Amino acid sequence: MKISSDVLHRLSDFDAATLYEAAGQQGMVDPAIKPMWPGAHLCGVALTLSCPARDNLMLHHAVALAEPASVLVANAQRYLYAGAWGEVLTVAAQARGIAGLVIDGAVRDIEAVSQRRFHVFSRGLAIGACKKEKFGTIGDPVDLGGITVRSGDVVVGTADGVVVLAQESVERVLQAAEARRDREREVFRQLQSGKTTIEILGLPSFTSRSMTCK
């Protein structure tokens, strides 16, 4: 299934939390996987890969194979004592038009990566070096922070975190997100007119009898 650039552009207008809610509270990646610099933001079609711990050979191969505007989604075995991605791979990825990286592992050279404005979401930072010897997989489903990601799924990362949208659900989620945005705008309008969230959302009332005094 091909995800159109128009759909990706519209999805990129939403934060990850809104899309998670629009997806029926599905697809939330472990919150420990975070943007590695303020303002990092990605939305693209996943190319999945797996790397043995402390070996980033498959990341080099994935960069060479990835299509422009794709997002690399890497399972690096949650290894946090070696940076599997750095400035060299960043320059290589940008030269090929890759949109960003989400990795369940560690990265390094983050000052250089942030200066180059390459969008990276990672479990951590580490100055340790990786080998380039062992093969893993490219294109097979991978676990990313507790969520199974397939090549072709859509990955969205914002300041709130990362959400994965199954490729067959993208259109439905986009429609639900747009409807949710419209509802929230109406809520904001009512709040600014003086109503409370209790009234608008129909929340249970709280009376003085609910309080205990000593």
Ordered by start, the domain boundaries in the chain are 5-173
DSSP-derived 3-state class of residue 31: coil
Average pLDDT, stretch 153-164?
A: 98
Structure pTM?
A: 0.92
Segment 109-114 mean pLDDT? 98
The pLDDT of residue 54: 97
The 3-state DSSP composition of the chain as helix, strand, coil percent (nearest 5) reads 35, 25, 40
Name the helix (H) or strand (E) containing 111: helix 110-115
Return d(Cα 164, Cα 176) in angstroms, integer: 15
Start-to-end CA span in the chain (Å) = 63
Instruction: With cut-offs at 50, 70 and 90, classify the pLDDT of residue 191.
Output: very high
Question: What is the model's pLDDT at position 210?
Answer: 57
**Confidence class of residue 214 from pLDDT cuts 50, 70 and 90?**
low
Asked if 83 contacts 130 with a C-beta cutoff of 8 angstroms, the reply is yes
Fold of domain 5-173: Glucose Oxidase; domain 1 (3.50.30)
144: amino acid identity, one letter = L
Contact 63, 96 (CB under 8 A): yes
Q: Calculate the CA 208 to chain-centre distance.
A: 44
28: its two tokens: 């939330």
